[in-house]
Amino acid sequence: MPHVILKMAAGKSKAEKQMLAQALADAVTSTLNCDEKLVSVAIEDIEVSDWKEKVFIPDILGKPELIWKEPGYDPLS
């Protein structure tokens, strides 16, 4: 039962989020060969000014064992 949690910069519309959630669900179902009814997607808006403290440090630097695709930026440099 995959549950995808996406944190992203705030500012996208409800329609954009719905399309993104469906695209993520589609990717999960096709990659993992599972039924779509088992997939859920949550989207959390983060203000860009809070990104370093709320996402980069705790979720990217703080949990390297969970990162499967590293970002190509470093707000600490």
Query: 2, 58, 71, 75: which one is catalytic?
Result: 2
Q: Which two tokens stand for residue 66?
A: 């969970």
* pLDDT for residue 67: 98
What are the residues whose beta carbons fall under 8 Å from the beta carbon of 2, sequence distance 6 or more?
Answer: 28, 32, 34, 38, 39, 40
SS3 call for 19: helix
Assess whether 64 carries a catalytic annotation.
Answer: no
d(CA 34, CA 25): 10
* pLDDT for residue 28: 98
Task: Delineate the domains of the chain, giving CATH numbers in brackets.
Answer: 1-46 (3.30.429.10), 49-77 (no CATH)
Q: What is each CA distance from 46 to 33, 51, 55, 59, in whole angstroms?
A: 31, 6, 8, 13
| Amino acid letter, residue 16 | E
In which band, very low, low, confident or very high, does the pLDDT at 6 lie, cut at 50, 70 and 90?
A: very high
* pLDDT for residue 41: 98
Q: Report pLDDT digits (tens) over 19-73.
A: 999 999 999 999 999 999 999 999 999 999 999 999 999 999 999 999 999 999 9
